[in-house]
Amino acid sequence: MRKAITGHKAVAEAMRQIEPDVVAVYPITPQSEIAEYYAEYVHNGLVRTELIPVESEHSALSACVGAAAAGGRVITATSSQGLALLVEVLYIAAGLRLPIVMALANRALSAPINIHCDHSDAYLARDSGAIQIFAESAQEAYDYMLMAQRIAEDMRVRLPVVVNLDGFTLTHTVQPVDLLDDAVAKAFVGEYKPYAPLLDVEHPVTWGAFAMTDYYFELKRAQQAGMEAAPAVFLEVQREFAKIAGRPYAGFFEAYKLADAEYVLVVLGSTAGTAKVAVDTLRARGMRVGLLKPWLWRPFPAQEVAAALAHAKVVAVLDRALSFGTMGALFEDVAAALYPLEKRPILVNYIYGLGGRDTTVPDLIRVFEELPHVARTEWALRYIGLRE
Amino acid sequence: MKEIRWHGRGGQGAKTVSQILAQINLREGKFVQAFPEFGPERSGAPVRAYNRISDEEILVHSGVYEPDIAVVIDETLLDSERPTEGLKPDGVLLVNTACSPEEIRARTKFPGRIVTVDADRIARETGTGFPNIPMLGAVVAVLGTDYALAEAELREALGGRLSQDLLAKNLQAFRAGYEAAKEVTVGRA
């Protein structure tokens, strides 16, 4: 059924259909409404979830870790400083191979304090061991919340999954979202079969054991194997979802008018939608431009991205966060992906949208129009919409 | 694609009606967006909200700078918030005021169509106390949306939140705003 709802509501509806055993969450703008909607569902008896109001995000994810180790299906949500506070525990969730799903309403990190969107929170968790997915719209946020559950819980993977949706731009904007019937969504997500649950007292196990020089390295290698298995699982789950939902998901990224494009943008999240309008505008003027929008950011699908970009003349990678002292994280991903190719496109890195600075269609048209004049790959940042 | 910018004060319900409008437009088969301006939310402070309405999927996720319709829910914002800024010259300025469209024209110098609705009076007379619902009715009239469809969606949107009595008053206020907007209008200068 198609409804005009916010990104918050879309995520909360996915959670309602998943009906996890435990949701532990602490409020923070612009995530809070996800928790508020879900609390309403719990108190109206729509779900049988144990909702744990906690005193901080660190506690929220700690409660999730405990509940997941106990054998529960677990979801949380946060933003910005909340992510920063819980990131310590996110590394633990990944290290313990706990399939916790987390919606991250992207918001800039302090200081200066700001409530608006950028991707510095997601980038902070880049190396945590969590799988990270980015949504362009509330529809994609809803869809990937459902898919995330399956990816996280797959025994080949068993890792936390973060579903990123741009704060305010997606969380607070009413837009059309096609919701699956509850029965269809529930059948897709399926019943959770916990692995070695602590509450199975007949089969006692230890979670969170000590590992020194003897085993730490091997356990981290095993964790990497879970990440390496994730792309294949992502595609399997996505294929099945596309079929039941009738949506055109196919691959780690959306390739928009990319096949014959000479000049290409690579961008995460909602700005990809704005970029499509810029692409269409310039295509109408005869400029061969295109877009690559990653859904899956961690693990990074390097070979597929390289193959999709190899034919381009110039590729502009847009990062919505600074990685101080070096290039944007997505730029470095793309640069590394292209390095093994004999013939590579020229690369250029733009930083955009920090702290919610608006990025418009004319902004992105200007970027495209600069690309034919970029003579070689630059190890220097350019900025969109910045006053200097 | 049509773009709408709402000017109100925190607590007047600009965001609420922008969201209900999106639901109305969705019901008539359109693609929609509705979003508030993301500033500090303080009672009485100027706030803005926006709608996009289109026959095609809306991909753009940036702000609205050149709206087709500007809706002023609080007349005191006419000067301080410059609601005509960026407003398309052939667009519509819709104001909650007891003044005539000609008086608003003189005040704003806006060359396009001006529609005035005394939503404060409607809110008083119907007993709802809020000018947002009559202004929603006025927007529905300006957009040419089917009245019965819009009213059905409004009934659904408010039904869960309001008592039967207050719902009936709001539907009355909605109709009054709709009717007023059809009457009190001047064309382009």
Are B54 and B1 spatial neighbours (Cβ–Cβ below 8 Å)? yes
Residue B31: list chain A partners with CB under 8 A.
Answer: 176
Q: What is the mean pLDDT of residues A38-49?
A: 98
Residue A111: asked if its preceding bond is cis (omega within 30°), the reply is yes
Residue B58: list chain A partners with CB under 8 A.
Answer: 175
Structural domains counted in chain B: 1
Q: For the domain A2-245, what is the CATH code?
A: 3.40.50.970
Q: Measure CB to CB from residue A4 to each of B26, B59, B63 and give the nearest one.
A: B26
Amino acid identity, position A112: P
Q: Is the pLDDT of residue A76 over 90?
A: yes
Q: Does A8 touch chain B (CB under 8 A)?
A: no
Are A338 and A345 spatial neighbours (Cβ–Cβ below 8 Å)? yes
- Is the CATH number of domain A253-383 3.40.50.920? yes
Angle of helix B132-143 versus helix B164-183 axis, rounded to 10: 50
Token code pair at residue B71: 């809706």
pLDDT band at residue B182 under the 50/70/90 scheme: confident
Query: Residue B84's closest CA among B100, B98, B95?
Result: B95
Residues of chain B above pLDDT 90, percent: 90
A325-378 residue pLDDT tens: 999 999 999 999 999 999 999 999 999 999 999 999 999 999 999 999 999 998
pLDDT band at residue B23 under the 50/70/90 scheme: very high
Q: Give the per-residue pLDDT at B149.
A: 98
CB–CB of B59 and A173 under 8 A? no
pLDDT band at residue B20 under the 50/70/90 scheme: very high
CA angle in degrees (0–180, nearest 5) for A353-A356-A358: 60
Q: Give the per-residue pLDDT at B38.
A: 67
**Gap between the Cα atoms of A303 and A341, Å rounded:** 10
To the nearest whole Å, the CA of A108 is away from the closest chain B CA by 14
To the nearest whole Å, the CA of A359 is away from the closest chain B CA by 6
Q: Does A97 touch chain B (CB under 8 A)?
A: no
How long a stretch of residues is chain B?
Answer: 189
Which residues are A163's β-sheet partners?
Answer: A103, A133
B89-107 residue pLDDT tens: 999 999 999 999 999 999 9
Amino acid identity, position A327: M
To the nearest whole Å, the CA of B35 is away from the closest chain A CA by 4
Q: What is the mean pLDDT of residues B71-95?
A: 96
The secondary structure of chain B in percent helix, strand, coil, rounded to multiples of 5, reads 40, 20, 40
Q: Is the pLDDT of residue B189 over 60?
A: no
A146-175 residue pLDDT tens: 999 999 999 999 999 999 999 999 999 999
Whole-number average pLDDT of chain A = 98
Q: Where in chain A is the domain with CATH 3.40.50.920?
A: 253-383
Interface test mutation site (partner A, options B20, B62, B64, B154, max chain A beta carbons within 10 A): B62
To the nearest whole Å, the CA of A342 is away from the closest chain B CA by 35
Q: Give the per-residue pLDDT at B183.
A: 75
Q: Measure CB to CB from residue B62 to each of A115, A170, A274 and give the nearest one.
A: A274
Query: CATH number of the domain that B145 lies in?
Result: 3.40.920.10
Q: Does A116 touch chain B (CB under 8 A)?
A: yes
- Tell the residue number behind the tokens 């950028």, with chain if given: A118
Q: What is the mean pLDDT of residues A48-68?
A: 98
To the nearest whole Å, the CA of B185 is away from the closest chain A CA by 30
Q: What is the mean pLDDT of residues A106-126?
A: 98
Q: Give the per-residue pLDDT at A378.
A: 87
Helical (H) or strand (E) element with B35: strand B31-36
Residues of chain A above pLDDT 70, percent: 100
Bridge-based pairing of strands A296-298 and A131-134 is antiparallel
Residue A176: list chain B partners with CB under 8 A.
Answer: 26, 31-32
Interface test mutation site (partner A, options B32, B55, B59, max chain A beta carbons within 10 A): B59
pLDDT band at residue A242 under the 50/70/90 scheme: very high
Q: Which domain holds residue B130?
A: 2-186
Whether this model's ipTM surpasses 0.90 comes out as yes
Q: How far is CA A309 from CA A32, A148, A252, A305, A339, in A?
A: 38, 27, 14, 6, 12
